[in-house]
Amino acid sequence: MSYSENLQAVENKITNAVGKSNRQRSDVHLVAVTKTVDAPAMEKLYDLGIRHFGENRAEVFTEKVAAFADKTDIVWHFIGSLQTRKVRAILPYINYLHSLDRKSLADEIEKRATEKVACFLQVNISEEETKHGFNAEEAIAFVSTQTYEHIEIVGLMTMAPNTDDAQALHHVFQGLKALQLEIEKLGIANVPCHEVSMGMTNDFEIAVEEGATFIRVGRALVEEN
């Protein structure tokens, strides 16, 4: 399948999923995860109308930002685990950070930032030992005691278990959505927490059904059969 056919297939699935959740297509932002493709491949996606792009390595992120410097309408998402020593390099370019997973990273962002940075708090809803992030209780404690001026917690992010068990995936995504609503209701300054970043190629339809507002899709967009 071509990139155009891939995108149409993804769009059809999003449309079907938002219908099941009684929402609108405009409620869901499709982030094209382009960590496995080069700039010319990204250009194809851009020409198809995609504007949200996600990368997970700082060096590649800054290279691609430079390659698309003339495309001022691109929304850049950093979605990978971020080392504190790499914060300075990417901070001027990110529109969203999806992986605020520890206090030390927040401290470094606060130290380096000159304006507000839109961040998703990474939550390990499934509490898997191999995954980064706060658990639900830690997430609430973190936002309740934070005093950062330059960090805006726009929402929560999670990575679901690698499973074909739809019921398990529904449970995980329901858990993140419930936590997002709980934090949103707290009304904390700099913590609007309106957004939910969840769902990838294997599970984004279920994520959308359960309230995702950002989905991070790579393989389904860029694989050419």
d(CA 191, CA 143): 7
Residue among 90, 70, 71, 88 nearest 80 (CA): 90
Rounded CA-CA distance 53/94 in Å is: 10
Condensed to tens digits (0 to 9), the pLDDT of residues 94-135 reads 999 999 999 999 999 999 999 999 999 999 998 777 788 999
Are 160 and 203 within 8 A, CB to CB?
Answer: yes
pLDDT in tens, 52-103: 999 999 999 999 999 999 999 999 999 999 999 999 999 999 999 999 999 9
Name the token pair of 129: 């030992």
Structural domains in the chain, CATH included, are: 3-222 (3.20.20.10)
Q: What is the pLDDT of residues 134-159, one digit of tens each?
A: 999 999 999 999 899 999 999 999 99
Supply the pTM of this predicted model: 0.96
Token output for 123: 């939550």
